[in-house]
């Protein structure tokens, strides 16, 4: 039996088209999914769209388009990122699907003992789809969207979040729900220790513009979009529709990871585990929280209007370059600014001059020596500087990925690329000598090892390199059949 690994991203609002912040999270999760598949695990990688929010309904009305037609169109644009970004997700759930609605209703009923109705007055941010207290605002504005919340007064259903304060604290302190990085764990504990208050989990049908999942047994109320949306992680696994699949992937194994942005920390580290506890269901094992891509220091966001379209970026520079830049340049644990100038500089230095040049250079040397089909015994590489550098790079790579440090994992690969370049220069491999042939074969072997650890990050590039070196291998030998192709990354003329 293979070990299982379940990984999810946040599901995205479809009130507008995707931006590169969405792309970053999907690519990060894709790397982890591909890495775990390479480890021989059975992986289920889930993403999707959050379609029942008030702001989706408002955006549709503003566009003068029926809400369903509007969300259907935008959901397809998000789903299309699979091809544009070469993502390997296994399932894409939409919260307007029957399987989700059925599961969300079941979850509400499972939590019914902790749900009650009361009149309420509060400040509501439509962007966050959440109520705020006065002291949580910054200069009277939502800290996330920089907009003034609406004052709402109505009778809604509430969830007894306060009931689970001590249990949540215990789970998080003891890393039974492991929050990464530690700073976000501390932030969550600080929020819990400040005293949890019960949360509103419905809104009137009128305020919801008639859009969303009705509360079971009360058609005048719509389930709060976050209660509904968070359920996607289990409704996609069959909660409410396929008990065997749900037990297989959620109940009976402990390798469940959520990948989310820092802006929705509270929903995933506090509200979601509390809902699961109320429903007597297992909680997620790990929650990895990444930082933001910024433009001039500001978060990229639809509401702020500073959008960069991932489709246009891919069309201009290619999928692999976009994947590389976002993973290499944007640290997972601090905000990173995006500029086209920095993108093009990184492209030329790391991809054109670095990886692309090394592959082209070694293949040209192989052609010069008329290496067309050649066998290299693995034992000939052992105890060489090549193997020592490969082992060191693999060790640093594995450690970095275990800690979700995608940029450091890539640095370990590029250190190996740099070693190969320096080796060629130091040993003047363009000049004839008795060691020249074996050295070039060792370089080809090292490049083949680079492709293995590069694959989760740049799968198409890895495949192209393997095709050009024509690798076939087993435990004892490598057979290289050289088929030099076009340059992997033609150099850009900088703006």
Q: Which residues are catalytic?
A: 19, 22, 125, 128, 142, 145, 299, 302
Query: Cβ distance 26 to 85 under 8 Å?
Result: yes
- DSSP for 359-428? HHHHHHHHHHTT-SEEEEEGGGTTTSHHHHHHHHHHHHHHHHHHTT-HHHHHHHHHHHHHHHHHHHHHHT
Q: Beta strands of 266-305 (E only): which ranges?
A: 286-290, 293-295, 298-299
Coil, helix or strand at residue 72: helix
Q: How far apart are CA 297 and CA 160, in angstroms?
A: 38
The residue written with tokens 């990173």 in the block is: 336
Measured between its terminal Cα atoms, the distance across the chain in Å is: 53
Distant-in-sequence contacts of 172-176, Cβ < 8 A, 24+ apart? 172/269, 176/283
Count the residues in the chain: 495
Query: Cβ distance 289 to 260 under 8 Å?
Result: yes
Q: Which two tokens stand for residue 441?
A: 């074969």
Query: Cβ distance 107 to 239 under 8 Å?
Result: yes
Q: How far apart are CA 238 and CA 103, in angstroms?
A: 8
How many helices and strands in the chain, by DSSP H and E?
20, 20
> Which of 282, 343, 277, 376 is closest to 23 using CA atoms?
343
* Segments in 85-153 forming alpha helices (H): 98-110
Backbone angles phi, psi at 127, to 5 degrees: -60, -45
Query: Cβ distance 175 to 184 under 8 Å?
Result: no
Q: How far apart are CA 441 and CA 269, in angstroms?
A: 50
Buried b (16+ CB within 10 A) or exposed e, 261-290: bbbbbbbbbbbbbbbbbbbebebbbbbbbb
Query: Cβ distance 208 to 157 under 8 Å?
Result: no
Cα R_g (the chain), whole angstroms: 26
477-481 and 472-473: which strand pairing? antiparallel
């Amino acid at each position: 039996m293979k070990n299982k690994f379940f990984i999810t991203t946040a599901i995205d609002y479809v009130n507008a088209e995707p931006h590169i912040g969405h792309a970053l999270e999907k690519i990060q999760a894709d790397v982890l999914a591909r890495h775990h598949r390479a480890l021989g695990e059975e992986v289920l990688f889930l993403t999707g769209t959050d379609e029942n929010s008030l702001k989706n309904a408002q955006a549709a009305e503003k566009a003068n388009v029926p809400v369903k037609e509007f969300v259907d169109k935008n959901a397809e644009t998000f789903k299309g990122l699979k091809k544009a970004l070469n993502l390997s997700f296994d399932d894409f759930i939409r919260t307007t699907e029957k399987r989700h609605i059925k599961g969300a209703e079941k979850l509400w009923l499972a939590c019914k003992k902790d749900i009650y109705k009361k009149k309420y007055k509060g400040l509501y941010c439509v962007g966050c789809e959440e109520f705020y207290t006065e002291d949580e605002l910054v200069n009277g504005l939502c800290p996330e969207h920089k907009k003034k919340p609406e004052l709402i007064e109505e009778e809604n259903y509430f969830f007894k979040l306060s009931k689970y304060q001590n249990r949540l604290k215990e789970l998080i302190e003891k890393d039974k729900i492991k929050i990464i990085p530690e700073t976000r764990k501390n932030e969550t504990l600080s929020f819990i220790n400040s005293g949890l208050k019960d949360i509103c989990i419905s809104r009137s049908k009128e305020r919801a513009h008639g859009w969303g999942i009705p509360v079971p047994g009360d058609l005048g109320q719509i389930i709060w979009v976050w209660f509904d949306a968070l359920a996607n992680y289990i409704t996609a696994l069959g909660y409410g529709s396929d008990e065997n699949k749900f037990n297989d992937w959620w109940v009976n194994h402990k390798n469940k990871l959520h990948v989310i942005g820092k802006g929705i920390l509270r929903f995933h580290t506090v509200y979601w585990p509390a809902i699961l506890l109320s429903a007597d269901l297992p909680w997620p094992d790990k929650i990895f929280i990444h930082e933001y891509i910024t433009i001039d220091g500001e978060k990229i966001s639809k509401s702020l209007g500073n959008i960069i379209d991932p489709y246009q970026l891919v069309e201009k520079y290619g999928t692999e370059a976009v994947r590389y830049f976002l993973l290499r340049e944007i640290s997972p644990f601090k905000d990173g600014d995006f500029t086209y100038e920095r993108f093009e500089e990184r492209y030329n230095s790391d991809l054109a001059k670095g990886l692309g040049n090394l592959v082209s250079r070694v293949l040209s040397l192989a052609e010069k020596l008329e290496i067309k089909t050649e066998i290299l015994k693995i034992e000939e590489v052992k105890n060489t500087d090549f193997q020592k550098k490969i082992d060191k790079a693999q060790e640093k790579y594995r450690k970095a990925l275990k800690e979700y440090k995608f940029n450091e994992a890539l640095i370990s690969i590029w250190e190996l690329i740099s070693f190969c370049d320096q080796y060629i220069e130091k040993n003047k491999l363009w000049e004839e000598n008795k060691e020249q042939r074996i050295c070039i074969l060792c370089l080809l072997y090292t490049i083949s090892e680079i492709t293995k650890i590069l694959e989760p990050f740049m799968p198409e590039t890895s495949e192209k390199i393997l095709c050009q070196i024509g690798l076939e291998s087993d435990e004892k030998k490598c057979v290289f059949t050289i088929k030099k192709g076009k340059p992997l990354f033609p150099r850009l003329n900088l703006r």
